[in-house]
Amino acid sequence: MTGAARGQGRSHAIRLAAEGADIIAVDLCEDIPSNEYPLATDADLAETAKLVESYDRRVLARKADVRERTQLREAVDAGVAEFGRLDVVVANAGIAPFGKGTPLQAYFDTMGTNYIGALNAIEVALPHMTENGGSIICTGSTAALMTHGTSNPANGIGGAAYTTSKRHIARLVHELAGHLAPRRIRVNAVHPYNVDTDMLHSPPMYRVFRPDLENPTREDAEAVFAAGSPMGIKWMDASEVSDSVAFLASDESKYITGLQLKIDSGQMLPMSSAGIAD
Ligand SMILES: NC(=O)c1ccc[n+]([C@@H]2O[C@H](COP(=O)([O-])OP(=O)(O)OC[C@H]3O[C@@H](n4cnc5c(N)ncnc54)[C@H](O)[C@@H]3O)[C@@H](O)[C@H]2O)c1
């Protein structure tokens, strides 16, 4: 589980522990200077570990940067040595440095974390997923599925990177699903709309939703958060994304692979066809 210290990653870790999994919990636990809002801390990761243990499951919590394959490999190898096997990968870590003023470095950090980070997690996990098949779940975003998402100048170079990285996730899932199917390793993506985490409640995200204001507050953004949702949902709880992650990790989805699972209260419906040939 990458990005496990807080938000959706913590929620997925707890949910999978409740279903009986031991957890390798990885997080950077440091800030990335090109990303305006603070990331998780050591204390956050320790809290995730405690919560996993409260389900009587084992946890190996490691500070590691998903941009650095060697750090991830060390964490995964140590976890497999301790737990004996690896069945599920959840590539979830992400940053969202949206905004006109974001530095060029935000492009590299976002692609490195959101896309290369997922690639790294999968690459180091695959050698351990040999006999029993397995399930790889990548966190995308509805941003991956929107038209014109990369080219909104108001979102800056960080916003372009966010959308590009999530599109690459969707493509990666599609390609790997085909290649790994003969090994019974399934590869799927979840694409959430707004989720109630620190990423959503951050100044860059508030500016995405209120481009009409220079320094929008949480209240300003909340007033329009539901506008993109036909169901009128402002945001989901992270646990509501975990429901889908738990399903995709389980045998209940054993013949589902290559799925781009929108969890969006209908947000994408006006922007897409029925997904069938005309
Ligand atoms: N919150 C939303 O509205 C939303 C919507 C769609 C998709 N997503 C995606 O969901 C995923 C989880 O985000 P979240 O909403 O829980 O936000 P979050 O900021 O609470 O969690 C992200 C976690 O990733 C960690 N992280 C960041 N860079 C890292 C790195 N280089 N190496 C290791 N860990 C790193 C952070 O420390 C943090 O714990 C992200 O991929 C995000 O793009 C979020």
Q: Whose CA is nearest to atom 19 of ligand 1?
A: 199
SS3 state of residue 47: helix
Residue 112 belongs to domain spanning: 7-190+240-266
Domain with 156 in it: what CATH number? 3.40.50.720
CB distance 88 to ligand 1 below 6 Å: no
Mutate to test the pocket of ligand 1, among 199, 242, 268 (most ligand atoms within 8 A of CB): 199
Domain count of the chain? Answer: 1
Q: Which atom of ligand 1 is nearest to the CA of 162?
A: 43
Residue 138 has pLDDT above 90, yes or no: yes
CB distance 95 to ligand 1 below 6 Å: yes
**What pLDDT digit, counting tens, does each position of 160-188 carry?**
999 999 999 999 999 999 999 999 999 99
Instruction: Cite the active site residues.
Output: 162
pLDDT number for residue 4: 98
SS3 state of residue 112: helix
Q: Please name the amino acid found at residue 171.
A: R
CB distance 257 to ligand 1 below 6 Å: no
Confirm whether 248 is domain-assigned: yes
User: d(Cα 149, Cα 143) in Å, to the nearest integer?
Assistant: 6
User: d(Cα 77, Cα 73) in Å, to the nearest integer?
Assistant: 6
- Given the structure tokens 């997925």, which residue do they identify? 12
Q: Which atom of ligand 1 is nearest to the CA of 194?
A: 3
CB distance 192 to ligand 1 below 6 Å: yes
User: d(Cα 4, Cα 76) in Å, to the nearest integer?
Assistant: 14
Confirm whether 144 is domain-assigned: yes
Confirm whether 275 is domain-assigned: no
Q: Which long-range contacts (CB under 8 A, 24 or more apart) does 145-154 make?
A: 145/170, 145/191, 145/260, 145/262, 145/268, 145/271, 145/272, 146/268, 146/271, 147/271, 153/100, 154/100, 154/207, 154/208, 154/211
Confirm whether 195 is domain-assigned: no
Confirm whether 196 is domain-assigned: no
Q: Whose CA is nearest to atom 23 of ligand 1?
A: 3
Give me the percent of the chain exceeding a pLDDT of 90.
89
**What pLDDT digit, counting tens, does each position of 210-224 carry?**
999 989 999 999 999
